[in-house]
Amino acid sequence: MTERKEIEAIIDRWNNGLDGGDIEQMVSTCHPDVMTVNEHQPVTVGAQAIRDKYNPRIAAADITSGFDIEKLELYGDVAIVVGQFYGTMTMRDTGEVRSPKGRLALVYKRDDAGAWKMILDMDNNGPA
């Protein structure tokens, strides 16, 4: 499998975990000290921060998600991915359908076993 296909597969694993409500599948794609830098939120560090951020979303909505890679650059054991995220959130309590979208930069690093693990997740939301 090419490195690009490996990165695409790990992004798909994250999205499938999010869509299926499997937070541990999402966390399995992350370095233990993953850093999240999300719009209008404080910087967080660690796998527990991923759980704290996404568990309430998973509980509140049925989610579908996608990501289109615009650029992927490899620097040895580090990969930088830039693209567009999009999806839907159907709120369980009201039925309201939200359509989050925006730009996303992800950084992955190979761990000691050779698996790609997300070390940075930085996004900004597009217009509503």
Is pLDDT above 70 for 128?
no
Annotated domain spans of the chain: 3-123
Is pLDDT above 60 for 79?
yes
Is pLDDT above 80 for 126?
no
pLDDT tens-digit readout, 34-64: 999 988 889 999 999 999 999 999 999 999 9
Question: Do residues 90 and 97 lie in contact, with contact meaning Cβ atoms separated by under 8 Å?
Answer: yes
The pLDDT-based confidence of 127 (bands split at 50, 70, 90) is low
Question: Do residues 95 and 9 lie in contact, with contact meaning Cβ atoms separated by under 8 Å?
Answer: no
SS3 79: strand
Residues 3-21 have a mean pLDDT of 97
- Nearby residues of 50 by Cβ (< 8 Å), 6 or more positions away: 23, 26, 27, 30, 34, 36
SS3 43: coil
Whole-prediction pTM:
0.93
Cβ neighbour number for residue 49 with a 10 Å cutoff: 17
Q: Which CATH code for domain 3-123?
A: 3.10.450.50
